[in-house]
Amino acid sequence: MTISAERPTQVDDHSPVSPVAVKERRGFGSGWQGQHIGTAIIAGFLGYIFGHWLGNYIGSSYAYIANSGQNSIADLLALVFMVVGWYLGIGALNYPLAKMVGREATHEVEYTGFSKYFRYNLDHKVVGLQYVVGVLLFLFTGGLLAMAIRAELLNPTTHLFSADTYIKIVSEHGTIMMMMATSVVVGPLGNYFIPLMIGARRMAFPRIEAFSFWTFLIGYVVIFSALPYGGFPTGWTGYAPLQTQAGPGMVSYLFGFAVIGVGMMTAGFNLAITVINYRAPGMTWSRVPVFVWGILSTAALLTLATPVLFSAGLFGLLDKTAQTAFFVTEHGGSSFLWQNLFWFFGHPEVYIMALPGFGIVGEIIPVFTRKPLFAYRIAAAGMIGVALLSFFVWQHHLFQSGIDPDMRPLFMLTTELISIPTGFIFLVGMGTLYRAKIRFEVPMLFCMAVYFNFLIGGVTGVFLSDVPVNVTVHGGFFVLSHFHYTIMGGLIFAFFGGLYFWLPKMTGKVMNKKLGLWHFWTMFVFFNLTFFPMFIIGLLGQPRRVFTYAKNLQTLNDFSSISAFLLGLSFLIFVANLMWSQFISPVKSPANPWDSLGLEWQTASPVPRHNFDRIPVIMTDPYHYSEEGAPALADFGGGSRADVSSATFPGNDPA
């Protein structure tokens, strides 16, 4: 079959794709000629200089700016043009700009080898690995800030930082970690495995997929830029009126949220369209893997909730630069408006982080118990229920902000109701584990830890949903410990479990098991020793974001801090394992080391550029472990689609 390089030609769903044909389709290639991360950095730097000059030129015309000593217009335009320069330098805008001026877009050049990971790449597998490195980088940086926080709290009176510096470290840590967590699973594992799990040859919109990663990366650069600007003192929530009173670092916070919001919206939209429209024939909704359900629910939240955050950031930037008063109470605005807009995104965001973790655990547990996933449909319904109810609970974050007291019972009820579908998902895991002969491999250990940690986080969350308890412990370490148990104890543990499970497929190399066990046990033990004492510290009255505390709490704080340092050491063990097993002394992985039935394990290793030589026809769901006479998962022989009902499959060719 000859396939034109000028215009992608739709091929038959089940036709084999030759390597020659794929190579000739330069439009399906990866990277832009001569453009890479180095040119993006240079272009971003030049854009920053130009934007700052332009902002100073504009600001010089206004006396209130010239006399204030702070030109927020220059700060904002510098960041805006830095982002634009970044996109131009990496090549993200080449295709749309060429189309806008009526010219035929230059086709991508297909790069091979290590250099492709530093370029604008249209292969979802390359994008997934780019996300892995990006997420680990920002997780490591946020962790260093956490070490600084715990070092300060070793003593209630002797200080490493001033009060102003301490709150800015806390703010930067929280913002980096929360924004990183929104992409920690969706970015690396979602982009890499969703097409493989649904039998597709690509994502629906490969350029949007690549755009979302480079947006994620530059968004974090923008947030990091708050540090040289002097930081911001608001915590990660950015509450007004502190927001409007803060210095230039606040511009980085607001614009960073807006940039990452764009990346989150595009990623969510692309993933949702891919799952809905690019499932292989025979993959009805009752056969979709549970991880795909988790990503689809998350994609819906990203697409629907993130625009609210983007709008809030835009309003805040207008207050800082154009003298509007959306959040300035004395000029007719409302600081409560920011809280409502922020948490209308912020609480769905909790489940943006939790649902993919549940999906990972639901995908791994059947493999290591050799049992079908218990109550599969309940798990899928639970994820949909969580996604829906997450939009009706945001005001429980405002119980102490002066909202109408008559609204408290409603949001207390909705917050308690959301524990029901969450409980369904939890019980699906317990049902799968019941009377199972478990293989305690490293991925399975991380999954077991997710249930242990999330149980503690979930139970304490039920207490916090009640107004009397919330009023008592709000703003203290009890709340801090609760959300670390739900987010870090759930999502981050699930992420590492997913990495140990799927890295052999992603890289073709196995992780070292002994180092993996050391990583797990040190991370699990010291995570609990770090954050469980914080429940006690919080109940004894220690507030968050304050660097002094009562002397009688020093022992507990010291214990928590030392445990936190050892927890940080556990991440270094993972980094050492990653470097050793992938680069220093790699061991080739078998094609299916875990003997999984998942569709992603049925293709060749390493995964071909086009994923599947023939698009599979799905015959059943992927959880028929230990069932005699169970049908094969898929037919790769190019069988007819005529007998396949409810198949959604618009082309799915390699372009």
Please check whether residue 131 is in contact with residue 495, taking contact to mean a CB–CB distance below 8 angstroms. Answer: no
Give the structural domain span for 210: 123-584
In a domain, 626, yes or no: no
End-to-end CA distance of the chain: give it in Å, rounded: 14
Does some domain include residue 313? yes
Of 25-39, 210-224, 370-384, the range with the lowest mean pLDDT is: 25-39
User: Is 563 among the domain residues?
Assistant: yes
pLDDT above 70: residue 65? no
pLDDT confidence tier of residue 7, bands split at 50, 70 and 90: very low
pLDDT exceeds 80 at position 186: yes
Could you tell me the two tokens for 193?
């495995």
Whether residue 79 has pLDDT greater than 60: yes
Cα–Cα distance for residue pair 498/489, rounded to 1 Å: 14
* H or E element in which residue 165 lies: helix 163-181
Whether residues 182 and 66 share a domain: the answer is no
Residue 195: pLDDT above 90? yes
State the pLDDT at residue 645. 36
Q: Which of 46-50, 57-61, 292-296, 406-410 has the lowest mean pLDDT?
A: 57-61
Domain membership of residue 213 (yes or no) is yes
Pairing of β 617-618 and β 634-635: antiparallel
- Residues 67 and 135 occupy one common structural domain: no
Q: Is the pLDDT of residue 217 over 50?
A: yes
Tell me the per-residue pLDDT of 314-329, one tens digit each, with 9 for 90 and over: 999 999 988 899 999 8
Among 584, 605, 625, identify where a domain stops. 584
SS (H, E, C) 585-608: CCCECCCCCCCCCCHHHCCCCCCC
Mean pLDDT of the chain: 88
Residue 313 has pLDDT above 70, yes or no: yes
**Residue 650 lies inside a defined structural domain of this protein:** no
State residue 618 phi and psi, 5-degree precision: -80, 130
pLDDT at residue 641 tops 50 = no
Query: In this structure, are residues 308 and 318 in contact, taking their beta carbons and an 8 Å threshold?
Result: no
> In this predicted model, what pLDDT tens digit does every residue of 83-139 receive, in sequence order?
999 999 999 999 888 888 888 766 566 667 788 999 999 999 999 999 999 999 989
For residues 112 and 129, state if they share a domain: no
476 by Cβ neighbours in 10 Å (0-12 / 13-18 / 19+) ranks as buried
Size of the chain in residues: 655
Say yes or no: 364 and 223 in one domain: yes
pLDDT at 646 over 60: no
160 and 68 both lie in a single domain: no
Which of 462, 391, 469 shows the shortest CA–CA distance to 426? Answer: 462
- How many alpha carbons fall within 13 Å on the CB side of residue 199? 32
Over the stretch 561-620, which tens digit does the pLDDT of each residue have?
999 999 999 999 999 999 999 999 999 999 899 999 999 999 887 888 889 988 999 999
Classify 341 as helix, strand or coil: helix
Task: Give the span between the Cα atoms of 489 and 457, in whole angstroms.
Answer: 8
Half-sphere exposure of 419 (CA within 13 A, CB side): 17
Exposed / middle / buried, residue 1 (Cβ in 10 Å: 0-12, 13-18, 19+):
exposed
Query: How far is 605 from 590, CA to CA, in rounded Å?
Result: 8
pTM of the model: 0.92
Q: What is the pLDDT of residue 385?
A: 95
In this predicted model, what pLDDT tens digit does every residue of 444-483 receive, in sequence order? 999 999 999 999 999 999 999 999 999 889 889 999 999 9
- Residue ranges of E strands in 206-310: none
What angle do helix axes 408-417 and 442-465 make, rounded to 10 degrees? 160
Q: What is the pLDDT of residues 479-522, one digit of tens each?
A: 999 999 999 999 999 999 999 999 999 999 999 999 999 999 99
CATH number of 328's domain? 1.20.210.10
Same domain as 166, residue 52: no
Q: pLDDT at residue 264 above 50?
A: yes
Are 43 and 143 part of one and the same domain? Answer: no
The total domain count for the chain is 2
**pLDDT of 650 strictly over 70:** no
Nearest to 498, CA basis, from 114, 144, 192: 192
Mean pLDDT of 180-206: 94
Q: Could you write out the three-class secondary structure of 34-74?
A: CECHHHHHHHHHHHHHHHHHHHHHHHCCCHHHHCCCCCHHH
Tokens linked to 112: 């091979």
Q: Residues of the chain with pLDDT > 90: what percent?
A: 73
- Can you tell me the mean pLDDT for 277-294? 96
- With a cut of 90, say whether residue 634 has pLDDT above it: no
Task: Return the closest-CA partner of residue 116 out of 107, 127, 131.
Answer: 127
| Residue 170 clears pLDDT 60, i.e. is over it | yes
Is residue 626 pLDDT above 60, yes or no?
A: yes
Cβ contact 479:544 at 8 Å: yes
Per-residue confidence (pLDDT) for residue 189, from 0 to 100: 95
User: Do 117 and 130 have their domain in common?
Assistant: no
| 109 and 143 both lie in a single domain | no
Last residue of a domain, one of 74, 95, 122: 122
In a domain, 10, yes or no: no
d(CA 603, CA 611): 7
Q: Would residue 500 count as lying in a domain?
A: yes
- Measured CA to CA, the distance from residue 6 to residue 26 in angstroms comes to 8
Same domain? 320 vs 232: yes
- The verdict on residue 431 lying in a domain is yes
The verdict on 154 and 106 lying in the same domain is: no
**Whether the predicted pLDDT of 639 surpasses 70:** no
- Indicate whether 304 and 160 sit together in one domain: yes
Helix crossing, 442-465 with 419-433: angle to 10°? Answer: 150
Of the residues 99, 122, 145, the one at which a domain ends: 122
pLDDT value for 110: 66
Q: Using the predicted structure, report yes or no on whether residue 655 has a pLDDT greater than 90.
A: no
Smallest CA-to-CA distance from 256 within 219, 209, 226 is with 219
> Cβ contacts of residue 102 below 8 Å, gap of 6+?
none
